[in-house]
Structure 1
Amino acid sequence: MAPKMFAFMDAVEKPPIGNRKSYMSIPEAKLIGDVEAYATQKDEALKLQRFYYLQYNEMAAKLETDLTAVLTRLEAAKNNLELVKKFRNNPGEEFQSLIQISAGVFRWVKVMPVEQVTLKVGNALQMAFDLPEAEEFIKKDITSLVKQRLQHEHDIDFLQDQVNTIEMNLAVLLKHGLDNKNTNING
Protein backbone atom coordinates (compact mmCIF):
# COMPACT_ATOMS: atom_id res chain seq x y z
CA MET A 1 0.00 0.00 0.00
CA ALA A 2 1.39 3.38 -1.02
CA PRO A 3 1.74 6.09 1.64
CA LYS A 4 -1.07 8.65 1.66
CA MET A 5 0.99 11.02 -0.50
CA PHE A 6 1.15 8.39 -3.25
CA ALA A 7 -2.39 7.00 -2.89
CA PHE A 8 -3.30 8.43 -6.30
CA MET A 9 -0.92 5.87 -7.84
CA ASP A 10 -3.21 3.02 -6.78
CA ALA A 11 -5.97 4.41 -9.02
CA VAL A 12 -3.80 4.40 -12.17
CA GLU A 13 -4.97 1.73 -14.56
CA LYS A 14 -3.24 0.01 -17.43
CA PRO A 15 -4.16 1.85 -20.65
CA PRO A 16 -6.56 -0.01 -22.96
CA ILE A 17 -4.83 -2.41 -25.30
CA GLY A 18 -7.60 -2.77 -27.89
CA ASN A 19 -7.69 -5.96 -29.90
CA ARG A 20 -3.94 -6.55 -29.53
CA LYS A 21 -2.29 -8.84 -27.01
CA SER A 22 0.69 -6.58 -26.25
CA TYR A 23 1.59 -2.90 -26.33
CA MET A 24 4.72 -3.62 -28.35
CA SER A 25 4.54 -5.41 -31.68
CA ILE A 26 5.17 -8.85 -30.22
CA PRO A 27 4.23 -11.65 -32.59
CA GLU A 28 2.20 -14.36 -30.93
CA ALA A 29 3.81 -17.80 -30.78
CA LYS A 30 1.63 -20.75 -31.77
CA LEU A 31 1.94 -24.25 -30.44
CA ILE A 32 2.79 -26.78 -33.12
CA GLY A 33 -0.25 -29.01 -33.53
CA ASP A 34 0.74 -31.64 -36.07
CA VAL A 35 4.44 -32.14 -35.39
CA GLU A 36 4.94 -34.62 -38.22
CA ALA A 37 3.46 -32.27 -40.81
CA TYR A 38 5.30 -29.26 -39.41
CA ALA A 39 8.64 -31.05 -39.35
CA THR A 40 8.29 -32.32 -42.94
CA GLN A 41 6.66 -29.17 -44.24
CA LYS A 42 9.42 -26.95 -42.89
CA ASP A 43 12.85 -28.41 -43.43
CA GLU A 44 14.28 -25.78 -41.11
CA ALA A 45 11.59 -26.19 -38.40
CA LEU A 46 14.03 -26.43 -35.50
CA LYS A 47 16.09 -23.46 -36.73
CA LEU A 48 12.93 -21.39 -37.13
CA GLN A 49 11.79 -22.11 -33.57
CA ARG A 50 15.26 -21.30 -32.25
CA PHE A 51 15.16 -18.01 -34.19
CA TYR A 52 11.82 -17.13 -32.55
CA TYR A 53 13.25 -18.09 -29.17
CA LEU A 54 16.20 -15.73 -29.60
CA GLN A 55 13.95 -12.98 -30.93
CA TYR A 56 11.63 -13.19 -27.91
CA ASN A 57 14.56 -13.24 -25.49
CA GLU A 58 16.04 -10.11 -27.11
CA MET A 59 12.68 -8.35 -26.80
CA ALA A 60 12.45 -9.41 -23.16
CA ALA A 61 15.94 -8.08 -22.40
CA LYS A 62 15.06 -4.73 -23.99
CA LEU A 63 11.78 -4.55 -22.07
CA GLU A 64 13.53 -5.38 -18.79
CA THR A 65 16.05 -2.58 -19.45
CA ASP A 66 13.24 -0.16 -20.30
CA LEU A 67 11.29 -1.20 -17.19
CA THR A 68 14.35 -0.59 -15.01
CA ALA A 69 14.68 2.92 -16.48
CA VAL A 70 10.97 3.61 -15.83
CA LEU A 71 11.26 2.37 -12.24
CA THR A 72 14.33 4.55 -11.66
CA ARG A 73 12.53 7.61 -13.04
CA LEU A 74 9.46 6.75 -10.95
CA GLU A 75 11.49 6.63 -7.72
CA ALA A 76 13.14 9.96 -8.58
CA ALA A 77 9.72 11.53 -9.28
CA LYS A 78 8.36 10.23 -5.97
CA ASN A 79 11.36 11.71 -4.14
CA ASN A 80 10.80 15.03 -5.94
CA LEU A 81 7.13 15.02 -4.94
CA GLU A 82 8.07 14.42 -1.29
CA LEU A 83 10.53 17.30 -1.43
CA VAL A 84 8.04 19.70 -3.04
CA LYS A 85 5.43 18.71 -0.41
CA LYS A 86 8.01 19.40 2.32
CA PHE A 87 8.66 22.87 0.87
CA ARG A 88 4.90 23.57 0.61
CA ASN A 89 4.11 22.33 4.11
CA ASN A 90 6.91 24.40 5.70
CA PRO A 91 6.78 27.83 4.02
CA GLY A 92 9.51 30.22 5.06
CA GLU A 93 11.54 27.46 6.74
CA GLU A 94 15.22 26.84 6.06
CA PHE A 95 16.49 23.28 5.50
CA GLN A 96 19.78 21.46 5.88
CA SER A 97 20.68 19.35 2.85
CA LEU A 98 23.62 17.27 1.74
CA ILE A 99 24.63 18.14 -1.83
CA GLN A 100 27.22 16.66 -4.13
CA ILE A 101 29.87 19.19 -5.09
CA SER A 102 31.81 16.87 -7.39
CA ALA A 103 32.16 13.11 -7.86
CA GLY A 104 32.31 11.60 -4.37
CA VAL A 105 32.50 15.00 -2.58
CA PHE A 106 29.49 16.15 -0.54
CA ARG A 107 28.77 19.13 1.68
CA TRP A 108 26.01 20.12 4.05
CA VAL A 109 24.34 23.35 3.01
CA LYS A 110 21.56 25.51 4.33
CA VAL A 111 18.70 25.82 1.85
CA MET A 112 16.83 29.09 2.14
CA PRO A 113 13.01 29.02 2.02
CA VAL A 114 11.85 27.63 -1.32
CA GLU A 115 8.99 29.15 -3.31
CA GLN A 116 9.95 27.86 -6.74
CA VAL A 117 11.75 24.80 -8.14
CA THR A 118 13.24 23.94 -11.51
CA LEU A 119 12.21 20.59 -12.95
CA LYS A 120 13.44 18.64 -15.94
CA VAL A 121 10.53 18.51 -18.40
CA GLY A 122 12.29 16.96 -21.39
CA ASN A 123 15.63 15.54 -22.42
CA ALA A 124 17.30 18.94 -22.58
CA LEU A 125 14.60 21.21 -21.18
CA GLN A 126 14.10 22.51 -17.66
CA MET A 127 11.38 24.83 -16.40
CA ALA A 128 10.80 26.79 -13.22
CA PHE A 129 7.56 26.04 -11.38
CA ASP A 130 5.84 27.52 -8.36
CA LEU A 131 5.40 24.80 -5.74
CA PRO A 132 1.70 24.01 -6.45
CA GLU A 133 2.43 23.82 -10.20
CA ALA A 134 5.47 21.64 -9.54
CA GLU A 135 3.39 19.27 -7.43
CA GLU A 136 0.79 18.90 -10.21
CA PHE A 137 3.49 18.43 -12.87
CA ILE A 138 5.21 15.73 -10.81
CA LYS A 139 1.91 13.93 -10.13
CA LYS A 140 1.17 13.85 -13.87
CA ASP A 141 4.68 12.53 -14.51
CA ILE A 142 4.22 9.83 -11.86
CA THR A 143 0.87 8.83 -13.37
CA SER A 144 2.49 8.54 -16.80
CA LEU A 145 5.37 6.49 -15.40
CA VAL A 146 2.99 4.13 -13.57
CA LYS A 147 1.11 3.55 -16.84
CA GLN A 148 4.41 2.81 -18.58
CA ARG A 149 5.34 0.40 -15.79
CA LEU A 150 2.00 -1.41 -16.14
CA GLN A 151 2.44 -1.66 -19.92
CA HIS A 152 5.99 -3.00 -19.59
CA GLU A 153 4.95 -5.54 -16.96
CA HIS A 154 2.08 -6.71 -19.20
CA ASP A 155 4.38 -7.10 -22.20
CA ILE A 156 7.03 -8.91 -20.15
CA ASP A 157 4.37 -11.37 -18.96
CA PHE A 158 3.11 -11.81 -22.54
CA LEU A 159 6.66 -12.39 -23.77
CA GLN A 160 7.22 -15.01 -21.07
CA ASP A 161 4.16 -16.85 -22.38
CA GLN A 162 5.60 -16.70 -25.91
CA VAL A 163 8.99 -18.00 -24.71
CA ASN A 164 7.21 -20.85 -22.89
CA THR A 165 5.32 -21.72 -26.08
CA ILE A 166 8.51 -21.76 -28.15
CA GLU A 167 10.26 -23.87 -25.50
CA MET A 168 7.43 -26.41 -25.73
CA ASN A 169 7.68 -26.37 -29.54
CA LEU A 170 11.44 -26.93 -29.35
CA ALA A 171 10.98 -29.81 -26.92
CA VAL A 172 8.35 -31.44 -29.15
CA LEU A 173 10.50 -31.01 -32.29
CA LEU A 174 13.59 -32.38 -30.55
CA LYS A 175 11.62 -35.36 -29.24
CA HIS A 176 10.17 -35.92 -32.70
CA GLY A 177 13.68 -35.86 -34.19
CA LEU A 178 14.95 -38.33 -31.58
CA ASP A 179 11.95 -40.62 -32.11
CA ASN A 180 12.54 -40.60 -35.87
CA LYS A 181 16.24 -41.27 -35.37
CA ASN A 182 15.51 -44.18 -33.02
CA THR A 183 12.90 -45.57 -35.43
CA ASN A 184 15.38 -45.41 -38.32
CA ILE A 185 18.10 -47.09 -36.25
CA ASN A 186 15.83 -49.80 -34.84
CA GLY A 187 13.61 -50.14 -37.92
Structure 2
Amino acid sequence: MSETEDKKLDENSSYMGIPEAPFVEDVDSYMNKEENLNNFQNVMRKLEEQLNKYKFMEVHLQAKRKKLKSQIPDIKSSLEIVKEMKNRKDNAEEIETHYMLSDQVYMKAGIPPTDKVCLWLGANVMLEYCLDDADSLLSKNLSNAIKHLSQVEHDLDFLRNQCTTTEVTRARVYNWDVKRRRAAKSST
Protein backbone atom coordinates (compact mmCIF):
# COMPACT_ATOMS: atom_id res chain seq x y z
CA MET A 1 0.00 0.00 0.00
CA SER A 2 1.33 3.47 -0.82
CA GLU A 3 2.04 6.17 1.72
CA THR A 4 -1.00 8.19 0.68
CA GLU A 5 -3.31 5.22 1.25
CA ASP A 6 -1.80 4.55 4.68
CA LYS A 7 -2.44 8.10 5.88
CA LYS A 8 -5.45 8.62 8.09
CA LEU A 9 -8.29 10.22 6.20
CA ASP A 10 -10.11 13.14 7.72
CA GLU A 11 -13.87 13.30 8.12
CA ASN A 12 -14.31 15.05 4.76
CA SER A 13 -12.76 12.35 2.60
CA SER A 14 -13.48 8.77 1.67
CA TYR A 15 -11.38 5.66 1.10
CA MET A 16 -13.75 4.51 -1.63
CA GLY A 17 -13.70 7.77 -3.58
CA ILE A 18 -17.30 8.71 -2.81
CA PRO A 19 -18.02 12.15 -4.31
CA GLU A 20 -18.70 14.88 -1.79
CA ALA A 21 -22.13 16.51 -1.90
CA PRO A 22 -21.81 20.30 -2.11
CA PHE A 23 -23.52 22.28 0.64
CA VAL A 24 -25.65 25.01 -0.94
CA GLU A 25 -25.43 28.17 1.13
CA ASP A 26 -27.04 30.55 -1.38
CA VAL A 27 -29.85 28.83 -3.29
CA ASP A 28 -30.42 31.80 -5.64
CA SER A 29 -26.85 31.72 -6.96
CA TYR A 30 -26.98 27.90 -7.09
CA MET A 31 -30.15 27.98 -9.20
CA ASN A 32 -28.70 30.68 -11.48
CA LYS A 33 -25.70 28.52 -12.41
CA GLU A 34 -25.47 27.66 -16.09
CA GLU A 35 -26.13 23.94 -15.55
CA ASN A 36 -29.26 24.67 -13.47
CA LEU A 37 -30.79 27.63 -15.37
CA ASN A 38 -33.52 28.15 -12.77
CA ASN A 39 -35.03 24.80 -13.80
CA PHE A 40 -36.47 23.44 -10.57
CA GLN A 41 -37.45 20.05 -12.02
CA ASN A 42 -33.99 19.33 -13.44
CA VAL A 43 -32.23 20.35 -10.24
CA MET A 44 -34.55 18.21 -8.12
CA ARG A 45 -34.05 15.28 -10.51
CA LYS A 46 -30.24 15.63 -10.25
CA LEU A 47 -30.42 15.79 -6.48
CA GLU A 48 -32.72 12.76 -6.37
CA GLU A 49 -30.33 10.82 -8.62
CA GLN A 50 -27.40 11.77 -6.40
CA LEU A 51 -29.30 10.70 -3.29
CA ASN A 52 -30.20 7.37 -4.92
CA LYS A 53 -26.53 6.80 -5.78
CA TYR A 54 -25.58 7.47 -2.17
CA LYS A 55 -28.27 5.07 -0.94
CA PHE A 56 -27.02 2.38 -3.34
CA MET A 57 -23.44 2.85 -2.10
CA GLU A 58 -24.69 2.69 1.48
CA VAL A 59 -26.40 -0.67 0.87
CA HIS A 60 -23.21 -1.98 -0.75
CA LEU A 61 -21.04 -0.81 2.16
CA GLN A 62 -23.45 -2.22 4.75
CA ALA A 63 -23.21 -5.62 3.06
CA LYS A 64 -19.40 -5.36 3.14
CA ARG A 65 -19.49 -4.43 6.82
CA LYS A 66 -21.77 -7.36 7.63
CA LYS A 67 -19.47 -9.78 5.77
CA LEU A 68 -16.36 -8.44 7.51
CA LYS A 69 -18.01 -8.57 10.94
CA SER A 70 -18.82 -12.23 10.38
CA GLN A 71 -15.32 -13.06 9.04
CA ILE A 72 -13.31 -11.47 11.85
CA PRO A 73 -14.49 -13.85 14.62
CA ASP A 74 -13.83 -16.84 12.33
CA ILE A 75 -10.29 -15.65 11.61
CA LYS A 76 -9.67 -15.01 15.34
CA SER A 77 -10.92 -18.48 16.19
CA SER A 78 -8.71 -20.10 13.56
CA LEU A 79 -5.73 -18.09 14.76
CA GLU A 80 -6.31 -19.20 18.37
CA ILE A 81 -6.47 -22.83 17.26
CA VAL A 82 -3.22 -22.55 15.29
CA LYS A 83 -1.49 -20.90 18.26
CA GLU A 84 -2.73 -23.66 20.58
CA MET A 85 -1.45 -26.28 18.13
CA LYS A 86 1.94 -24.51 18.03
CA ASN A 87 2.09 -24.56 21.83
CA ARG A 88 1.28 -28.27 21.98
CA LYS A 89 3.23 -29.58 18.98
CA ASP A 90 6.16 -30.78 21.14
CA ASN A 91 3.78 -32.44 23.59
CA ALA A 92 3.06 -36.11 22.89
CA GLU A 93 -0.59 -36.09 23.95
CA GLU A 94 -3.54 -35.58 21.62
CA ILE A 95 -5.69 -32.46 21.65
CA GLU A 96 -9.29 -33.43 22.32
CA THR A 97 -11.87 -31.25 20.62
CA HIS A 98 -15.46 -31.12 19.45
CA TYR A 99 -16.25 -30.03 15.91
CA MET A 100 -19.55 -29.20 14.27
CA LEU A 101 -20.91 -31.70 11.76
CA SER A 102 -24.08 -29.72 11.12
CA ASP A 103 -26.33 -27.36 13.05
CA GLN A 104 -26.54 -28.53 16.66
CA VAL A 105 -24.59 -31.76 15.89
CA TYR A 106 -21.04 -32.00 17.23
CA MET A 107 -18.49 -34.81 17.07
CA LYS A 108 -15.62 -35.54 19.43
CA ALA A 109 -12.15 -35.89 17.89
CA GLY A 110 -8.54 -36.32 18.96
CA ILE A 111 -5.86 -34.37 17.10
CA PRO A 112 -2.36 -35.85 17.25
CA PRO A 113 0.58 -33.44 17.61
CA THR A 114 1.44 -32.04 14.18
CA ASP A 115 3.41 -29.29 12.52
CA LYS A 116 0.97 -28.83 9.61
CA VAL A 117 -2.57 -27.51 9.32
CA CYS A 118 -5.05 -27.13 6.44
CA LEU A 119 -6.80 -23.79 5.96
CA TRP A 120 -9.85 -22.99 3.84
CA LEU A 121 -8.93 -20.09 1.59
CA GLY A 122 -12.34 -19.71 -0.01
CA ALA A 123 -13.90 -20.76 -3.31
CA ASN A 124 -13.65 -24.41 -2.21
CA VAL A 125 -9.85 -24.19 -1.92
CA MET A 126 -7.95 -25.69 1.00
CA LEU A 127 -4.16 -25.58 1.39
CA GLU A 128 -1.79 -27.20 3.83
CA TYR A 129 0.52 -24.86 5.76
CA CYS A 130 3.14 -25.35 8.42
CA LEU A 131 1.97 -23.87 11.73
CA ASP A 132 4.23 -20.80 11.49
CA ASP A 133 3.05 -19.96 7.97
CA ALA A 134 -0.59 -20.50 8.98
CA ASP A 135 -0.08 -18.23 12.00
CA SER A 136 1.44 -15.44 9.89
CA LEU A 137 -1.22 -15.80 7.16
CA LEU A 138 -4.11 -15.68 9.63
CA SER A 139 -2.53 -12.76 11.52
CA LYS A 140 -2.13 -10.85 8.25
CA ASN A 141 -5.72 -11.66 7.21
CA LEU A 142 -7.02 -10.54 10.61
CA SER A 143 -5.18 -7.21 10.51
CA ASN A 144 -6.34 -6.62 6.91
CA ALA A 145 -9.95 -7.43 7.82
CA ILE A 146 -9.89 -5.10 10.84
CA LYS A 147 -8.31 -2.31 8.77
CA HIS A 148 -10.83 -2.80 5.96
CA LEU A 149 -13.71 -2.79 8.47
CA SER A 150 -12.55 0.55 9.89
CA GLN A 151 -12.34 1.96 6.34
CA VAL A 152 -15.86 0.73 5.57
CA GLU A 153 -17.16 2.23 8.84
CA HIS A 154 -15.47 5.54 7.96
CA ASP A 155 -16.99 5.51 4.46
CA LEU A 156 -20.45 4.73 5.88
CA ASP A 157 -20.19 7.73 8.21
CA PHE A 158 -19.01 9.89 5.32
CA LEU A 159 -21.86 8.59 3.16
CA ARG A 160 -24.47 9.36 5.83
CA ASN A 161 -23.16 12.94 5.96
CA GLN A 162 -23.44 13.21 2.16
CA CYS A 163 -27.02 11.89 2.25
CA THR A 164 -27.92 14.46 4.90
CA THR A 165 -26.28 17.27 2.93
CA THR A 166 -28.13 16.25 -0.24
CA GLU A 167 -31.46 16.05 1.60
CA VAL A 168 -30.89 19.51 3.09
CA THR A 169 -30.06 20.86 -0.38
CA ARG A 170 -33.25 19.30 -1.78
CA ALA A 171 -35.30 20.94 0.97
CA ARG A 172 -33.66 24.32 0.35
CA VAL A 173 -34.26 24.10 -3.41
CA TYR A 174 -37.87 23.05 -2.81
CA ASN A 175 -38.41 26.00 -0.44
CA TRP A 176 -36.77 28.30 -3.00
CA ASP A 177 -39.29 27.12 -5.62
CA VAL A 178 -42.24 27.61 -3.23
CA LYS A 179 -41.10 31.20 -2.52
CA ARG A 180 -40.58 31.84 -6.24
CA ARG A 181 -44.08 30.58 -7.12
CA ARG A 182 -45.65 32.61 -4.30
CA ALA A 183 -43.85 35.73 -5.50
CA ALA A 184 -44.98 35.08 -9.08
CA LYS A 185 -48.55 34.46 -7.91
CA SER A 186 -48.67 37.63 -5.79
CA SER A 187 -47.24 39.78 -8.60
CA THR A 188 -50.01 38.74 -11.01
In the TM superposition, residue 102 of structure 1 has moved relative to its aligned partner by 4.0
Equivalent residue, structure 2, for 1:164: 164
Asked if residue 29 in structure 1 is aligned to residue 21 in structure 2, the reply is: yes
Q: TM-score, normalised by structure 2?
A: 0.79
Q: TM-score, normalised by structure 1?
A: 0.79
How is 1:1-187 mapped onto 2 (pairs within 5 angstroms)?
15-16=6-7, 21-39=13-31, 41=37, 43=39, 44-91=42-89, 92=91, 93-102=93-102, 104-121=104-121, 123-187=123-187
Q: What do the CA deviations read for 1:126-147 (whole angstroms, capped 9, x no partner)?
A: 2211212211111111121122
Contact 1:15 1:147 in 2 (8 A): no
Paired residue type of 2:67: A
Q: What do the CA deviations read for 1:33-74 (whole angstroms, capped 9, x no partner)?
A: 331243352521111111111111110110111122122222
**Whole-angstrom distance in 1 between the partners of 2:70 and 2:103:** 20
Distance 1:176 1:107, change over 3 A: same
In the TM superposition, residue 95 of structure 1 has moved relative to its aligned partner by 2.7
Paired residue type of 1:15: D
Q: Which segments of 5 or more consecutive residues in structure 1 lack a partner in the other structure?
A: 1-13
Q: Which segments of 5 or more consecutive residues in structure 2 lack a partner in the other structure?
A: none
Structure 1 window deviating more from structure 2 (172-181 vs 63-72): it is 172-181
**Whole-angstrom distance in 1 between the partners of 2:127 and 2:183:** 73
Identical aligned residues as a percent = 24
